[in-house]
Amino acid sequence: MRKLTLALFFAVYICSVAVHSRIRQKRTWIIDSFNIEEENPGPFPYLLGTIELDRKYLVNFRLHGSGVDKEPKEVLKINQRNGQIWVHKKVDYETFQLLQLTFEATNVSSDKVDTRLGVEVKILDINDHAPVFSPPHYQATMNESSAQGQVVETMNATDGDDSQTPNGTFSFNIISVTPKTDNVEFFLEPTGASITEIFFRGCLDYEKANTYTIVVEAKDHGDKVQLSSTSTVTMNITDKNNHLPEITGQTGPGRVKERESGVEVLRVQVADKDSPGSQAWKAKYTIHGDKETYFKIETDPKTNEGVITVLKAMDYEEQTSRNVSISVANEVPYFSCEITGRPAKRLWDVKTFNEGPGKSLPGFPKLYPVSIAVEDVNDPPEFVPPVRKVGIMENTKLGTHLCTLEAKDPDKTFSSKFHFTKGDDVDNWITVDPETGEVFTAKVLDRESPLLKNSSYSVILYVVDNGEPPMTGTGTLIIQVGDLNDNLPILEVNTLGMCLLDKATMTNITAVDLDLPPYSSPFTYELLGDVKGKWNIDPTRGTTVHLVKEKTVYSGVHELQIKVSDNQGLSLTQNLSVTVCDCTSTPNCHLRRSSGAQVGSTAVSIMIFTFLLLLAIILMAFLISCKHEKKMIMTDDEPGWHLLESNIETLGTDCKVPAKITQVESIQTLKAKPNLISTHDGISKQEVIQQNHQQDYYDSTFQKEQLLKRSLQRNSTRRSYRSCHSSMDQVKRNYSIYSVDEFQLRQNLLTQIDQNLFQLQAPGEELGDYEPHCYAYEGESMIDPQLDAISLPENDFNPNVLTNLEWQFNKLASICRPDLKS
């Protein structure tokens, strides 16, 4: 057993307690402090040390605190007889660096604590933790054009061991770089105990390596053993423009037809070593020597080719080919980096160039020549001049020669024969000789035509050559029509209203003339007739003058004659109607006159309507007077009625139908009597005939309708009555819209109705003789689609209903129920 060296002396003051008048003396205890190495592999338990006491009596030892009954529990135990301390398991320094315990010594005889002391057990650290990177992996991105000496990445690591010992300190080192290239080298520069930065020297080249993988190690300085870990840095390089584009050739026809535009004529190929699809690879083209801007060049995003397109049509007769130059650059500026030396120092010797504003590479860009041929095609002929103006006076006779058209063919290699034709000529004013181009008038021209604008009439003309295919040129002929005095001045209004006053009043009158000066205004006005002391014009010359009414003019409508002459003396006498009224009641005399005329028409209409109504009443009274009073029975038109006692009618009808109800004259008879046809109040003769026929037809139809209704009331078949009633209503509706030409057809219809009525009045045939037909026996249910559904009310019949009958049924009711007579 190994005895540990005594490291610490403790002074112990022992308090003595008097028992049975006995006083104990102070004693001094001497104990040891202990050390435990972390992660000691054992075997367990092993002896840590012994606490030795100078005593004359027996004691028991006890131990409490960390490592015994507190965390970490059950690491230490003490032999209560001899004071030996034993270790039973491992202790981690990174968790517990010191165990604090309490030691007690108890008198065996009295079992009382004789001594209580503090004990410390120190945990000794060992190198059991390697440095750890945070994060374990790094990603970095650098531009290819980045200058050497820039920071690639900053790395950080930590160690769980005691940083005050070699076990907890560490250093960084680059283990490997993949791939290895001769243009760049990486190195580390620590910036603290646990931080380091990665730098590079040289020139980055995307084409040699677009990604570098750098492995960095962190290793501690442990005495017995050295622990380490590694981290990986992935550095991605972004391609930049360190290779110049170069035009390698061209494809395409390299030619264009004259007058063509918007077509592709050429493609230019380019080579670039930079990464395809990157801005350093994308080409940007420029055209040189194209002052007229005939072409444009764009980059094909897929192939990086330069596409040349014709912007503006070219003329073969002017130039048979066009020579331009093309240059190419990239979308991002060019740079270069060249290593000139590799000295043993932090950075190498390099030579760099960066393109920028006012700074370009000598001899760049290079120009690539391009020639584009122009092909001749059949050009359309051209009018000379394209817009031609000719003058002619209006009212010139038909067929007057206006001009001779001229045209030229700009082609040098194609035929120059052509002919003329007319295009847009709205009013067909001209004709064109197709061979000679002579233009003639096709009608008498009128300057006042609404088709003219500023006295000019435009015609579109065409000239067509005989090429393959034939081409057409367009020209314009403007005919300027001169004015003649061929229009008379006319008053703007020919009705006026003026107020009745006790002094002279005036109003404005204005004339218009479609001719232009000097054939129009100013006009000369002159009143004709007996107007002295009543009317005058002041002034008599001008476009608008005053019509003066003297105070002697009475109210009413005055018809004046006024002569209006234009500036050349051409005149027209016109009627002017002036209404004079009292303006205190009606501000506008003209409106008052119109309103009065309207009221008169309404009164006439009312009188005519009243006369016709009176005539209709007289005719109805005459028809009613021919009837003989008959006793009538109730019909079954209303559901729920009951048959009461009544008289029995004999065969026949209530009234005889005359052979001819109304005698109507035909149109031929009316035409044979011209003295009966005249006009009245603006109504034509044809309208008078039509009105007479309508009235006669209405009277005849009304009588036949009444007879037909009375005959059908005796027929028990309700459906037949409704059908006949509808026919009569339709006849009346047709009557309201018939014309004189249809009169004969209406007469035929009346004759047919007469025949039907005579059949209904024949003795024994008014109701018809029919054989009985059995539809169902009593108690049986049968549905016949020919029968209508009949609904019978449940309520009882009230005889008092007979007291409220209309006057037609009063006689019948008195016969059936004498007790109801009043």
Instruction: Name the percent of the chain in helix, strand, coil, to the closest 5.
Output: 15, 35, 50
Query: Which amino acid appears at position 325 of this protein?
Result: S
Residue 142 in this model has a pLDDT that exceeds 90: yes
Distance from chain centroid for Cα 564? 62
70: DSSP letter: B
Q: Is the dihedral of CA 736, 739, 740, 741 positive or negative?
A: negative
92 confidence band (pLDDT: 50, 70, 90) = confident
Is residue 250 a contact partner of residue 266, using CB atoms and an 8 Å limit?
Answer: yes
- Model confidence at 755: pLDDT above 70: no
Residue 365, preceding peptide bond in cis (omega within 30° of 0): yes
pLDDT on residue 750 = 53
In this prediction, residues 148-159 reach a mean pLDDT of 94
What is the three-class DSSP state of 758? helix
Q: Give the position of tokens 């003789």.
A: 769
pLDDT in tens, 317-358: 888 899 999 999 999 999 999 999 999 889 999 999 988 887
Is the pLDDT at 683 greater than 80, yes or no? no
**pLDDT range class, residue 639, cuts 50, 70, 90:** very low
Q: How far apart are CA 9 and CA 371, in angstroms?
A: 110
What pLDDT does 814 receive?
62
CA gap 87, 46 in Å, rounded: 5
pLDDT tens, position by position, 259-286: 899 999 999 999 999 989 999 999 999 9
Average pLDDT over residues 557-570: 92
Are 46 and 86 in contact by the 8 Å Cβ rule? The answer is yes
Q: How confident is the model at residue 807 (pLDDT cuts 50, 70, 90)?
A: low
Mean pLDDT of 136-153: 94
* Terminal Cα-to-Cα distance of the chain (whole angstroms): 159
3-state secondary structure of 225: coil
The partner residues of 310 in beta bridges, in order of sequence, read: 295
Contact 336, 280 (CB under 8 A): no
Predicted pLDDT of residue 819: 59
**Across the beta sheet with 556-565, what order do the strands follow?**
495-499, 571-581, 556-565, 523-528, 541-542
19-43 per-position pLDDT tens digit: 222 323 334 344 567 888 777 878 8
Confidence of residue 434 (pLDDT cuts 50, 70, 90): very high
d(CA 155, CA 192): 11
Strand partners, 576: 560
What is the spatial distance between Cα 144 and Cα 335, in angstroms, rounded to a whole number? 9
Identify the pLDDT of residue 677. 31
Collect all residues with Cβ–Cβ distance below 8 Å to 193 and sequence separation of at least 6: 163, 169
Least confident of 3-7, 283-287, 588-592, 761-765: 3-7
Give the burial class of 473: count Cβ atoms within 10 A of its Cβ; 0-12 exposed, 13-18 middle, 19 or more buried. Answer: buried
237, 142 contact by CB (below 8 A): yes
Q: What mean pLDDT comes out for the span 455-467?
A: 91
Query: Nearest-5° angle of CA 217, CA 219, CA 224?
Result: 150
Determine which helix (DSSP H) or strand (DSSP E) holds 591, and give its type and residue range: helix 589-625
Query: Which position has the higher pLDDT, 17 or 518?
Result: 518
Q: 136-140, 597-601, 805-809: lowest mean pLDDT where?
A: 597-601
**What is the torsional sign of CA 541, 544, 546, 547?**
positive
- With a CB cutoff of 8 Å and minimum separation 6, the contacts of 698 are 735
Of the given ranges (159-168, 285-294, 599-608, 723-732), which has the lowest mean pLDDT?
723-732
Whole-number Å distance between alpha carbons of 455 and 282: 63
Only one residue has tokens 């209004």, namely 493
Q: Give pLDDT, residue 412.
A: 67
Instruction: Choose between 287 and 355: higher pLDDT.
Output: 287
**For the CA atoms of 337, 343, 345, 348, what is the dihedral angle to 10 degrees?**
0
Predicted pLDDT of residue 626: 59
Highest mean pLDDT among 2-6, 19-23, 71-75, 456-460: 456-460
**Per-residue confidence (pLDDT) for residue 348, from 0 to 100:** 94
The pLDDT of residue 335:
92
**pLDDT for residue 398 is more than 50:** yes
Q: Which residue has the higher pLDDT, 769 or 164?
A: 164
Comparing CA positions, the residue from 423, 385, 428 lying closest to residue 403 is: 385
Q: Beta-strand (E) ranges in 283-320?
A: 283-288, 295-299, 306-310
* Spatial separation of the C-alpha atoms in residues 53 and 61, rounded to whole Å: 10
Q: How confident is the model at residue 678 (pLDDT cuts 50, 70, 90)?
A: very low
Band of pLDDT at residue 210, cut at 50, 70 and 90: very high
Query: Residue holding tokens 């040699």?
Result: 208
Token pair, residue 261, equals 């535009």
Strand partners, 421: 462
Residue with tokens 């339709």: 730
**How far is the CA of 765 from the CAs of 180, 713, 759, in angstroms?**
134, 14, 8
Structure-token match 């230490």, residue found = 76
704 pLDDT higher than 50? no
State how far the alpha carbon of 764 is from the alpha carbons of 196, 650, 754, 769, in Å: 138, 9, 19, 8
pLDDT band, very low/low/confident/very high, at 509 (cuts 50, 70, 90)? very high
Q: Transcribe 713-741 into DSSP letters.
A: TT-S-HHHHHHHHHHHHHHHHHHTT--GG
pLDDT greater than 50 at residue 542: yes
Strands 407-408 and 283-288, by their bridges, are: unpaired
Q: What is the pLDDT of residue 805?
A: 54
- Residue 11's pLDDT is what? 29
> In 10 A of CB 342, how many CB atoms?
14
pLDDT averaged over every residue in the chain: 76
Strand bridging mode 137-143 / 228-238: parallel
pLDDT at 627: 53
User: Is-contact 164 259, C-beta < 8 A?
Assistant: no
Question: What pLDDT, on a 0 to 100 scale, did the predictor assign at position 97?
Answer: 79
CB 368 within 8 A of CB 288: no
Band of pLDDT at residue 658, cut at 50, 70 and 90: very low
pLDDT of residue 692: 42
